């Protein structure tokens, strides 16, 4: 569903993503771990078509993002680290607007069901987003993704800054989506969350995918050790 | 059948596209409505507008009252003047008032500066009097609060306020990425934003325009109300707003930050409404200066030199000889008319020629100024709209001149009538006294404001420049490519 083939992105002399081969199938939650500057967000931006690759390909549902920018977006939802919503609109209105952009008109009752599924409290539906916490905004983001009914979901550090309870709720939502067959790519710093939620885990540094694990097969200590080695290597190289 | 299917499929596709644009526009409008500063700006604009409208209405009602009072008094004084020599009555003179359209309530134009009353008398072509500006303090230099001022000068500022961050706020707030992550063309976002801003502007302008129309319509005893003129004026203002909406969105699209967009647009507004008009007016005054009073007097004296002075028989000896020869008489008393009246009329015609020369010079300078200022319209849409607004309200220089010329034509008829009365009601000298029957039978003055055709003919240039600005701004908006807005 989500695939990169020899994907490279350079900013001047800096190689942000180097020869990345990635394959995420339907129903998989792929957690991409890596220190700051590892190339995680650039990978997300390449999937979203926000930046163009220097070399290689990004495929969504078999379509090249560079050649079919708008078509590929029909199949993909996106939740960034700080989900940006319109502060003067309510959570419901934000959902209505974004759902309308991608999926035509949904009935109000259906939109409310989506917000409920995403875990947003009923009382917050008609409150302006300017008064929402980050967790509440992320839930609206999930509702938007649910409304889009897309085959893939890309999340850029979505749990950073969330309290443990909100983070748990968020993980539960991802599992629901995964059960529905959605392919999920999530970048994160949170090793614990990656192992708990992900089906596969990749560790990236300096734009290179260093290691991949099946989440079930790797122990937390092992994952932590590999991750720290990569971070340390980064620091030493710097 | 297949054609039908094709047509319907296209139709539904188009509806879906429009639906998307509508959603974006609706979102934009909702956001603006909930943003307190926009709401405050809108309320402030509304209050200023109502204040301007009420003050304009009061101003014109007061002027109308004064005018009616003066007109009645002048008419009575003319009819009740004592018996006197008809030429003396020509010196006694009368006042003529410029008729006004009710749209003058919106745009007072040059009326306060140029005056609206003309004193009609023998020998002299007077410039207009009753210049309200002369009765006011220096504070008026800061500008008057008229509906036209709000609609032409302040409204673009409101447009800038609601639209400057149309795109930059999306980029700064991160929602641009959210929009980009959906299957929506950036062209539709652009059209949706345009529609959202335009809708907000119209939601402010349309109620203002309707209220203004009702108030103007309700003013009694003052000028005529032409719905056609009023609707055209509304269309002119709307076109003007479209230009500013387009410019605002273009700047917002190409600016990286809201602050930059706002400063850029503020600079455009200052340039368009203050700098360019003042610059071109100053240039017009420099390159086509109007003669001062002394120069006018000197020009008149030169043009008048050698002509017959109607009051000085010595200056008309040659004329006496010629007229007697033509009529085959040896004495002035034997002429079939009073030569004194004839001499006064010939003198009057010399005066008219001299004034025509002087006023042609002034008119030429004003035309030169007008042409130069019109060139400034290429740099600022404010100028053609200002001119069109005054033109449709009959308060522009062109209309002032049109009335001034009509008054002059009447003045010549008026003086001719009185001089002819002296010529044919007496035999010699200036001792003849005319009475109330003569005063009552003086020619009537009638003047109708130019029709729509004439107004359009006079305003063709401004209209084309305004349409050019609209076309240019839309073309510039179309040059925006979706990729160029990536944040």
Nearest alpha carbon to residue A33 among A169, A146, A160 = A160
pLDDT digits (tens, 9 = 90+) for A67-76: 888 888 888 9
Candidates A70, A78, A88; nearest CB to B185: A70
Candidates B20, B30, B35; nearest CB to A101: B20
Domain limits, chain B: 13-485
pLDDT at B485: 39
3-state secondary structure at position A160: coil
3-state secondary structure at position A10: strand
Distance from CA of B248 to the nearest CA of A (A): 21
DSSP 8-state code for residue B343: H
Q: How far apart are CA B150 and CA B47, in angstroms?
A: 10
Q: Is the pLDDT of residue A35 over 90?
A: no
Q: Cβ separation of B174 and A104 shorter than 8 Å?
A: no
B266 touches chain A (CB under 8 A): no
pLDDT at A101: 85
Nearest alpha carbon to residue B333 among B256, B412, B427, B416 = B427
User: First-to-last CA distance in chain B?
Assistant: 46
Q: How far apart are CA A53 and CA A8, in angstroms?
A: 6
Residues of B in contact with A104 (CB under 8 A): 16, 19
Q: How far apart are CA A30 and CA A16, in angstroms?
A: 20
Q: Cβ separation of B183 and A85 shorter than 8 Å?
A: no
Distance from CA of A190 to the nearest CA of B (A): 23
Print pLDDT tens along chain B (487 aa): 455 666 766 666 666 667 888 889 999 989 888 888 888 999 999 999 999 999 888 888 888 888 888 888 888 888 888 898 888 888 888 889 888 888 999 998 887 777 788 888 888 888 766 655 555 555 555 567 899 999 999 999 999 999 999 999 999 988 988 888 887 888 889 999 999 999 999 999 999 999 999 999 888 777 778 899 999 999 999 999 999 999 999 999 999 999 999 999 999 999 999 999 999 999 999 999 988 888 888 888 888 887 788 888 888 788 888 988 988 888 888 888 999 899 999 998 888 999 889 989 988 998 898 889 888 889 999 999 999 999 999 999 888 889 999 999 999 999 999 999 999 988 877 788 888 899 999 999 989 889 889 998 989 999 999 999 999 999 999 888 765 334 3
Q: Cβ separation of B178 and A98 shorter than 8 Å?
A: yes
Backbone dihedral angles phi then psi of residue B460, each to the nearest 5 degrees:
-55, -45
Cβ-based neighbours of B446, under 8 Å, separated by 6 or more? none
Q: Angle B174-B180-B186 (CA atoms, 0-180°, nearest 5)?
A: 115
Residues of B in contact with A98 (CB under 8 A): 178, 182
Residues of A in contact with B175 (CB under 8 A): 84-86
pLDDT at B486: 41
Q: Quick one: average pLDDT of A198-216?
A: 89
B353: its two tokens: 């020629």
Q: Is the dihedral of CA B454, B455, B458, B459 positive or negative?
A: negative
Residues of B in contact with A80 (CB under 8 A): 174, 177-178
Distance from CA of A127 to the nearest CA of B (A): 13
Q: Cβ separation of A102 and B34 shorter than 8 Å?
A: no
Q: What is the ipTM of this complex?
A: 0.85
pLDDT at B118: 87
Nearest alpha carbon to residue B242 among B483, B84, B469, B484 = B469
Residue B65: Cβ within 10 Å count: 12
3-state secondary structure at position B449: coil
Q: Is the dihedral of CA B477, B481, B484, B485 positive or negative?
A: positive
> Are the CB atoms for B316 and B308 separated by under 8 Å?
yes
Task: Give, to the nearest 10 degrees, the angle between helix B339-376 and helix B276-287.
Answer: 140
3-state secondary structure at position A22: strand
pLDDT at B13: 67
A70 touches chain B (CB under 8 A): yes
Q: How far apart are CA B35 and CA B161, in angstroms?
A: 11
Measured between CA atoms, the residue of chain B closest to residue A153 is B181
Residues of B in contact with A86 (CB under 8 A): 27, 31, 173, 175
pLDDT digits (tens, 9 = 90+) for A124-149: 999 999 999 988 998 899 899 888 88
Which segment, A100-114, A217-231, B60-74, B250-264, is predicted with the most confidence on average?
A: B250-264
Q: Cβ separation of B177 and A50 shorter than 8 Å?
A: yes
Distance from CA of B203 to the nearest CA of A (A): 19
For an interface test with B, the pick among A97, A129, A132 (most B C-beta atoms closer than 10 Å) comes out as: A97
Q: Quick one: average pLDDT of A34-62?
A: 91
DSSP code string of A48-99: HTSS--SEEEEEETTEETTT-HHHHHTTEEEE-SS----TTSBHHHHHHHHH
Distance from CA of B484 to the nearest CA of A (A): 12
B175 touches chain A (CB under 8 A): yes
Q: Is the pLDDT of residue A238 over 90?
A: no
For an interface test with A, the pick among B183, B200, B486 (most A C-beta atoms closer than 10 Å) comes out as: B183
Q: Cβ separation of B178 and A104 shorter than 8 Å?
A: no
**Strand order through the sheet with A14-24:** A14-24, A2-11, A55-60, A63-64
Q: Cβ separation of B177 and A80 shorter than 8 Å?
A: yes
Q: How far apart are CA A45 and CA A154, in angstroms?
A: 10
Measured between CA atoms, the residue of chain B closest to residue A128 is B34
Backbone dihedral angles phi then psi of residue B100, each to the nearest 5 degrees:
-125, 155
pTM of the model: 0.85
Residues of A in contact with B21 (CB under 8 A): none
CB-count burial class (<10 Å; 0-12, 13-18, 19+) for A125: middle
For an interface test with B, the pick among A92, A96, A101, A137 (most B C-beta atoms closer than 10 Å) comes out as: A101
B372: its two tokens: 């130069």
Candidates A70, A84, A102; nearest CB to B175: A84
pLDDT digits (tens, 9 = 90+) for A138-193: 889 989 988 888 889 999 888 877 778 878 888 888 888 899 899 999 998 888 88
Measured between CA atoms, the residue of chain B closest to residue A148 is B182
DSSP 8-state code for residue B103: G
CB-count burial class (<10 Å; 0-12, 13-18, 19+) for A214: exposed
Distances in Å between the Cα of B391 and the Cα atoms of A7, B127, B459 are: 65, 20, 7
CB-count burial class (<10 Å; 0-12, 13-18, 19+) for B386: buried
Q: How far apart are CA B345 and CA B308, in angstroms?
A: 10
CB-count burial class (<10 Å; 0-12, 13-18, 19+) for A221: exposed
Bridge pairing between strands A14-24 and A2-11: antiparallel
A100 touches chain B (CB under 8 A): yes
Long-range contact set of residues B93-96: C-beta below 8 Å, sequence gap at least 24: B93/B119, B93/B120, B93/B121, B93/B122, B94/B119, B94/B120, B94/B414, B95/B70, B95/B71, B95/B119, B95/B120, B96/B120, B96/B407, B96/B410, B96/B445
Residues of B in contact with A84 (CB under 8 A): 173-175, 177-178
Cβ contacts from A onto B, under 8 A: 69
For chain A, the average pLDDT equals: 88
Q: Cβ separation of B31 and A148 shorter than 8 Å?
A: no
A151 touches chain B (CB under 8 A): no
CB-count burial class (<10 Å; 0-12, 13-18, 19+) for B237: buried
Distance from CA of A50 to the nearest CA of B (A): 8
| Secondary structure in 3-state letters for B296-317 | HHHHHHHHHCCCCCCCCHHHHH
> Are the CB atoms for B96 and B120 separated by under 8 Å?
yes
Residues of A in contact with B27 (CB under 8 A): 86, 89, 93, 97
Distance from CA of B187 to the nearest CA of A (A): 12
Residues present in chain B in total: 487
Q: How far apart are CA B31 and CA A15, in angstroms?
A: 40
């Amino acid at each position: 569903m989500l695939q990169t083939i020899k994907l490279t992105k350079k900013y001047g002399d800096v190689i942000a993503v180097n020869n990345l081969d990635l394959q995420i199938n339907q129903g998989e939650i792929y957690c991409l771990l890596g220190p700051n500057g590892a190339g995680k967000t650039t990978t997300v931006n390449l999937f979203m078509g926000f930046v163009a690759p220097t070399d290689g390909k990004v495929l969504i549902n078999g379509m090249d993002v560079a050649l079919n920018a708008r078509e590929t977006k029909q199949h993909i939802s996106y939740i960034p680290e700080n989900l940006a919503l319109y502060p003067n609109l309510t959570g419901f209105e934000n959902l209505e607007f974004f759902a309308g952009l991608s999926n035509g008109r949904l009935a109000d009752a259906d939109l409310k069901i989506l917000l409920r599924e995403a875990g947003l409290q009923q009382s917050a539906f008609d409150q302006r987003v300017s008064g929402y916490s980050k967790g509440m905004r992320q839930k609206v983001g999930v509702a938007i993704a649910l409304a889009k009914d897309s085959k893939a979901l890309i999340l850029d550090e979505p749990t950073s800054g969330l309290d443990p309870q909100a983070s748990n709720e968020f993980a539960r939502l991802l599992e629901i989506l995964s059960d529905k067959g959605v392919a999920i790519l999530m970048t994160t710093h949170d090793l614990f969350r990656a192992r708990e939620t992900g089906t596969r885990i990749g560790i990236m540094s300096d734009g290179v995918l260093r290691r991949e694990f099946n989440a079930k097969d790797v122990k937390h200590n092992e994952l932590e050790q590999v991750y720290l080695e990569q971070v340390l290597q980064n620091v030493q190289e710097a | 059948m297949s054609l039908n299917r094709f047509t319907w499929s296209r139709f539904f596709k188009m509806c879906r596209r429009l639906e998307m644009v509508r959603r974006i526009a609706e979102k934009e409008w909702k956001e603006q409505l909930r943003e307190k500063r926009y709401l405050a700006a809108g309320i402030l604009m509304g209050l200023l507008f109502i204040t301007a409208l009420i003050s304009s209405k009061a101003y014109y009602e007061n002027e109308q009252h004064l005018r009616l009072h003066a007109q009645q008094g002048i008419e009575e004084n003319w009819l009740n003047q004592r018996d006197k020599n008809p030429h003396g009555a020509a010196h006694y003179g009368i006042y003529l008032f410029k008729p006004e359209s009710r749209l003058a309530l919106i745009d007072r134009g040059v009326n306060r500066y140029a005056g609206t009353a003309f004193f009609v008398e023998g020998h002299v072509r007077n410039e207009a009097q009753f210049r309200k500006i002369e009765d006011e303090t220096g504070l008026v230099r800061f500008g008057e609060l008229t509906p036209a001022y709000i609609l032409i000068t302040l409204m673009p500022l409101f447009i800038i306020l609601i639209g400057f961050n149309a795109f930059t706020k999306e980029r700064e707030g991160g929602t641009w990425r959210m929009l980009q992550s959906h299957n929506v063309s950036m062209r539709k976002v652009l059209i949706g934003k345009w529609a959202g801003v335009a809708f907000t502007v119209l939601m402010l302008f349309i109620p203002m325009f309707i209220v203004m129309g009702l108030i103007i319509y309700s003013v009694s005893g003052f000028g005529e109300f032409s719905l056609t003129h009023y609707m055209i004026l509304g269309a002119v203002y709307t076109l003007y707003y479209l230009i500013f909406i387009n410019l605002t969105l273009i700047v917002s699209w190409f600016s990286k930050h809201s602050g930059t967009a706002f400063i850029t647009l503020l600079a455009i507004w200052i340039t368009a409404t203050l700098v360019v008009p003042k610059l071109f007016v100053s240039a017009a005054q420099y390159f086509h200066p109007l003669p001062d009073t002394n120069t006018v007097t000197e020009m008149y004296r030169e043009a008048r030199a050698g002509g017959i002075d109607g009051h000085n028989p010595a200056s008309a000896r040659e004329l006496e000889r010629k007229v007697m020869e033509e009529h085959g008489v040896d004495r002035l008393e034997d002429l079939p008319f009073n030569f004194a009246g004839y001499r006064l009329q010939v003198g009057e015609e010399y005066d008219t020629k001299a004034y025509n020369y002087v006023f042609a010079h002034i008119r030429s300078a004003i035309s030169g100024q007008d042409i130069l200022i019109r060139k400034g319209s290429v740099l600022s849409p404010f100028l053609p709209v200002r001119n069109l607004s005054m033109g449709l309200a009959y308060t522009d220089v062109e209309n002032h001149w049109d009335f001034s010329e009509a008054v002059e034509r009447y003045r010549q008829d008026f003086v001719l009538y009185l001089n002819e009365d002296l010529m044919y009601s007496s035999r010699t000298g200036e001792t003849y006294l005319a009475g109330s029957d003569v005063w009552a039978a003086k020619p009537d003055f009638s003047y109708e404001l130019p029709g729509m055709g004439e107004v359009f003919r006079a305003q063709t240039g401004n209209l084309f420049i305004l349409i050019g600005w609209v076309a240019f701004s839309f073309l510039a908006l179309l040059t925006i490519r979706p990729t160029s807005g990536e944040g």
